[in-house]
Amino acid sequence: MKSIKKYLVAGCAILASAQLSFANEQIVIQTDSLGMVLTVGDNGRLYQSYFGKRLVNPADYANLTGGTEVYLTNGMEDYFEPALHINHSDGNASTLLKYRNHKVSSIPGGKETVITLSDPVYGDEVRLRYKSYDKENVFVSSTEIINGGNKPVEIEKYASSMLHFDAPEYYLTEYSGEWAAEVKPHTQPLYYGKKEVDTKLGTRANMFVSPFFQLGIGAPAQEDSGDVLVGTLAWTGNFRFCFEVDNRGKLRVISGINPYFSRRSLKKGETFATPDFIYTLSSRGNGEASRNLHDWARRYQVKDGLGDRMTLLNNWEATYFDFNQDKLISLIGEAKELGVDMFLLDDGWFANKYPRHSDTQGLGDWDETADKLPDGIGRLTAEAKKQGVKFGLWIEPEMVNPKSELYEKHKDWVITLPNRDEYYFRNQLVLDLANPKVQDYVFGIVDNLMTKYPDIAFFKWDCNSPITNIWSNYEKQDQQRLYVDYVRGLYNVLDRIAAKYPDLPMMLCSGGGGRTDYEGLRYFTEMWPSDNTDPVERLFIQWGYSQVFPTKVQCAHVTTWNRDASVKFRVNTAMMGKLGFDINLHDLSPEELSYCKQSVKDYNSLKPVILDGDQYRLVSPHSGNHAATAFVSKNRDKCVLFAFDVYPRYDEKLTDVRLKGLDPSAIYRVEEINRFDGSKGEVKTYSGDYLMKVGIPVFSTGKLSSRVYLLTKV
C-alpha cells in the first residue's frame, strides 16, 4: 500500500501516475473533524470505505478498506438505484468506472480533491469533485460526466453525489409544506427500499418540499446530540434526493438534479457538470450541523456573505397595487422617519397598454405606468436620495402575463404548449430562458433600469410561477433539455448581472420560499422565506430554514398579519432575521411607532451578533407553547436571546432556559432590552457556567408575548 501521507499534503497538486497499479490506493479527504476514505479495489474500481469522524492517527486509515462503490453506475452487478446512467449509441446502457488518477489542490478554506474515473470500453469519463472546508467541516461534491467515446451518448441519471452509510437505523427529516406554510419538519425511519424527496417545479426548487434534509444515523438526530448528515442541493430547479436501504441494511444517498424528463445527449468530447451537493456531518446533532453550514455559507457561498444587510420599508402590504407617485413619496418619508436604510417599491409600478393594477396583466412590460408615476422611477430615487434612504425595486423578469405587450410581440419566447389551452399559475407564464435571446432580454431589464436609474440600490427579484404547459420553441429538437437549460439560462443572466453590477444587493423571492437554495444565494444577498408573515407562523418557518441557512439571508418583515399579536411580538420575530417593515405606519399608534423606531436602532446595534454570530436554537416552537433562540458573537462577549410565549395554558409550569455557546468562565451582565415602553430592564449578573447549567426564567404565561435579552461579558 502506498503511503497515505502522500495524499494528505495540502496546498500542492498531486497527480497519481497513470502507469501504476492502483489497487488499494487510498484517497483521504479530511476537514478538522471529518474524514472520508475512498479506496481503489483490486478490480480498479473506487469504493467509499469510510465517512465519519476524522481519525486521530492517520496510519489507522490503512485499516479501512472495501465499502460500497462510490458512484454506482447502471447496468452492472449492483441491483439498486444508480448515481449514473448512460445510454451508449449501440444500445448498451451499462457503464463501468475504473480509477485513473486524482489531484488535490488548495481552495480558500480547504482543499479540492478531483478524482477521475473512466470506462475502459466506452471511454466515458467521470470526475468526482470534493471540496472540503477545514474549519466548517463542510463538504461540497459535484460530478462532471464527459463523453470520451467517439459517438454521442445519452445521460439519463447524473447525480451530484452518492454517499453510503452503514448503521442499524436511519431517520430522515424532510421539510415539506405548501405556499405560505413552508418547511414543516417530518421525521421518518427508513427501512428496506427507496424514499425519494423531489420536486418538478422547473423555475424553483421549493414549494412543497425544501431542497435539504437531515439524516439521523443510528438514531433520530436531536438538537445537540446524535450523528446527523445535513445536506442541500445548490440548484434553483428540479431536485431529487433518493434514500435507498439495500438488502444488507446499508443506506445509499443520491443527490442531484431530478432526472425526471431531463435526459440529455452529450456529443463526443462534451462535458456535463452537475450542481453542488453541500453537506456536513455532525456527531453533536442538528445544532452544530446548522452552525457549520451557516459559517460556510457566509464565508464561501452567499453573495456578500460577510457584508452588512439593509433594513427596509416595503410598500407591498401597505398599498398592494394601489399607489401613485405622491403616495410613494410619502412612504419614502416614512422610511426615513422609521430609521430604516431603504425604501423598497414592490409590484405594480409598470406597464402602460395593460397597466399593472393587479396580478392579471402587464407583467413583461417594464416601463413605468405613466399615470401612476408621471415622473418615472427617477423622481423616486431622487426623493430617496433627498431623504437619505436607499431605493430598491421589485421585478419579476422571467415571467409574462398573457395580457401584455411582450406576449403579443413574442409568444415564441413563452413556455407554452402550441396545441393545448394555456394553464396559468397566478395568471402568468414563464419565459423560455433556454433561449439566449430571452436571456438577453431578461438581463436587459436590470441593465436598462440600472443605466437609466443608477441610484437603484437593490432589487427584489420575484418568480411567482413554476413552469406550466412545458414546451419550448427553442428546444424544439429535444424538449427534455428544457428543465436543466432553463436554470442554466437563469445563471447565465445572473452571471452577467454579477459581472456588471458586482455590488448590487438583491433579494431572491419566489412567491414565498420557492427559491431557497444555495446556488441562487451565490447571486443574492438574501431570500424571502415565505409570503406568510404571521409572526407565530414565522417562528416555525424561520426555525425550519435556520437548519440550513443563516439568519443573515432570511428576510423577515413586520406586517399586519395576525393582529392578535402585539407590534412588539411581530417586531421581535422579525428581528431574528433580516429586519424589514411592510406596514402602513399610519396604522400604528404613537407608542407603537416609537417602539418600532427604537427597535430599528436596537436592531442596528445587535445586527453584528444576530447576523454574524452563532445561532443556538434553545426551545423549539414545535415543542410546546414557547420558543427561544440565542445568537452568540464569535468571541462570546455578547449574546442576544429572544424568548416567545405563544399560547401558554393557564397556570402553565414554566421552565428556565439554559443558554448555550457562552464562555463558562466569564461573567455576563443580563438585561432585558427592547421593552415596549422604553423602560430599562432589571440587570443581573451570572457566570456563563451558571447560565448554561442552570438557566434563567425568560418565559411568561402571557399570550403572544416576547422579550429580548442582551448578555454582555463584564
351-380 residues in contact with ligand GLA (CB under 6 A) are 359
Q: Segment near ligand GLA (CB under 6 A), from 429-437, 438-446, 509-517, 692-700?
A: 509-517
Catalytic residue among 124, 531, 602, 612: 531
Nearest to 550 by CA among 518, 506, 509, 513: 518
Smallest separation (angstroms) from ligand GLA to the CB of 688: 40
The region of 8-16, 506-514, 586-594, 638-646 touching ligand GLA under the rule CB under 6 A is: 506-514
- Given the complex with ligand GLA, which of 392 and 661 has the nearer CB atom? 392
In the complex, minimum distance from the CB of residue 340 to ligand GLA, in angstroms, rounded to a whole number = 17
Query: Do 583 and 560 meet the contact criterion of CB atoms below 8 Å apart?
Result: yes
Answer yes or no: 503 catalytic.
no
Considering only the stretches 323-331, 508-516, 654-662, 665-673, report the one whose residues sit in contact with ligand GLA under the rule CB under 6 A: 508-516
Burial grade of 645 (CB within 10 A; 0-12, 13-18, 19 or more): buried
Say whether 285 sits in a helix, a strand or coil.
Answer: helix
Name the minimum Å distance from CB 82 to ligand GLA: 38
Tell me whether residue 530 or residue 566 sits nearer to ligand GLA (CB atom): 530
The span of 165-173, 363-371, 507-515, 639-647 binding ligand GLA (CB under 6 A) equals 507-515
- Cα dist from 285 to 85, 135, 170, 226, 249, whole Å: 34, 17, 14, 5, 22
Q: Which of 119, 276, 462, 645 is catalytic?
A: 462
**Residue among 83, 99, 103 at smallest CA distance from 161:** 83
Segment near ligand GLA (CB under 6 A); pick from 272-280, 335-343, 367-375, 504-512: 504-512
The reply on whether position 316 binds ligand GLA by CB under 6 A is: yes
Q: Choose between 95 and 199: whose C-beta lies nearer to ligand GLA.
A: 199
Q: How far is the CB of 278 from ligand GLA (least distance, A)?
A: 25
CB nearer to ligand GLA: pick between 517 and 612: 517
Q: Report, in Å, the least distance between residue 321 CB and ligand GLA.
A: 8
Position among 512, 535, 661, 688 found at the interface with ligand GLA (CB under 6 A)? 512
350 lies in the site for ligand GLA, by CB under 6 A: no
Q: Report how far apart, in Å, the C-alpha atoms of 582 and of each of 17, 338, 391 are.
A: 61, 12, 15
Q: Is 462 a catalytic residue?
A: yes
Taking the least distance from each CB to ligand GLA, the nearer of 226 and 511 is: 511
Q: What's the min distance (Å) between Cβ of 347 and ligand GLA?
A: 4
- Phi/psi for 496 (5° steps) reads -65, -40
Q: Between 251 and 328, name the residue whose CB sits nearer to ligand GLA.
A: 328
Interface with ligand GLA, residue 347, by CB under 6 A:
yes
Enumerate residues 6+ apart whose C-beta is below 8 A from 111.
Answer: 10, 29, 104, 105, 131, 132
Residue with Cβ nearer ligand GLA (511 or 613): 511
Sheet containing 638-645, strands listed edge to edge, beginning at the edge strand earlier in sequence: 614-619, 626-632, 638-645, 705-713, 667-673, 683-687
User: Which residue sits closest to ligand GLA, CB atoms considered?
Assistant: 347
- Give me the helices (H) in 551-699, please: 567-575, 590-612, 688-693
Q: Which of 531, 537, 592, 602 binds ligand GLA (CB under 6 A)?
A: 531
Q: How far is the CB of 334 from ligand GLA (least distance, A)?
A: 18
Name which position in 511, 529, 544, 613 contacts ligand GLA (CB under 6 A). 511
CA 543, CA 627: separation in Å to the nearest integer? 10
Question: Is residue 661 involved in binding ligand GLA (CB under 6 A)?
Answer: no
CA distances from residue 481 to 155, 173, 276, 400, 512 in whole angstroms, order as listed: 11, 31, 19, 21, 27
User: Shortest CA distance to 526 belongs to which of 553, 498, 557?
Assistant: 553
Binding of ligand GLA at residue 507 (CB under 6 A)?
no
Shorter beta-carbon distance to ligand GLA: residue 383 or 462: 462
Report d(CA 91, CA 122) in Å as an integer: 12
Nearest to 438 by CA among 398, 478, 394, 494: 398
How far is 595 from 475, CA to CA, in rounded Å? 55
554 binds ligand GLA (CB under 6 A): no
Buried b (16+ CB within 10 A) or exposed e, 47-56: bbbbbbeebe
Residue with Cβ nearer ligand GLA (237 or 512): 512
Report residue 486 as a C-alpha cell: 432553463
Toward ligand GLA, which CB reaches closer, 364 or 511? 511
Q: 317 or 645: whose CB is closer to ligand GLA?
A: 317
**Residue 300 found at the interface with ligand GLA (CB under 6 A):** no
**Shortest spacing between CB 295 and ligand GLA, in angstroms:** 28
Q: Where are the beta strands (DSSP E) in 119-274?
A: 125-133, 138-146, 153-158, 161-166, 170-178, 181-189, 193-198, 209-217, 227-234, 239-245, 250-257, 264-266, 271-273
If the CB atoms of residues 341 and 347 are measured against ligand GLA, the closer one turns out to be 347
State yes or no: residue 509 binds ligand GLA (CB under 6 A). Answer: yes
SS3 416: coil
Cross-strand pairs, 73: 84
Q: Does 439 bind ligand GLA (CB under 6 A)?
A: no
Q: Does 182 bind ligand GLA (CB under 6 A)?
A: no
Closer to ligand GLA by CB, 240 or 309: give it. Answer: 309
Cell triple for residue 641?
Answer: 436571546
Shortest distance, CB of residue 511 to ligand GLA, whole angstroms? 4
Q: Kindly tell me which residue out of 81, 136, 346, 614 binds ligand GLA, with binding defined by CB under 6 A.
A: 346
**Which of 98, 102, 100, 146 is CA-nearest to residue 119?**
98
Between strands 578-581 and 614-619, the pairing is unpaired
555 sits near ligand GLA (criterion: CB under 6 A): no
Least CB distance to ligand GLA at residue 369 (A): 15
Which 8-state DSSP code applies to residue 513? B
Is the CB of residue 139 less than 8 Å from the CB of residue 279? Answer: yes
Indicate the helix (H) or strand (E) that contains 705.
strand 705-713
Beta strands, E only, 218-364 = 227-234, 239-245, 250-257, 264-266, 271-273, 276-282, 312-314, 342-345
Smallest separation, CB 533 to ligand GLA (Å): 9
The radius of gyration of the chain from alpha carbons, rounded to an integer in Å, stands at: 27
Total interface residues for ligand GLA by CB under 6 A: 12
Q: Does 202 bind ligand GLA (CB under 6 A)?
A: no
Residue type (1 letter), 167 = A
Q: Does 528 bind ligand GLA (CB under 6 A)?
A: yes
Query: In this structure, are strands 506-508 and 526-527 parallel, antiparallel, or unpaired?
Result: parallel
10/29 Cα distance (integer angstroms): 11
Does 462 sit near ligand GLA (CB under 6 A)?
A: yes
By CB under 6 A, name the one of 141, 203, 464, 480 that touches ligand GLA.
464
Build a one-symbol-per-residue string for 378-417: x at contacts with ligand GLA by CB under 6 A, - elsewhere: ----------------x-----------------------
Residue ranges in contact with ligand GLA by CB under 6 A: 316, 346-347, 359, 394, 462, 464, 509, 511-512, 528, 531
Q: Which residues are catalytic?
A: 462, 531
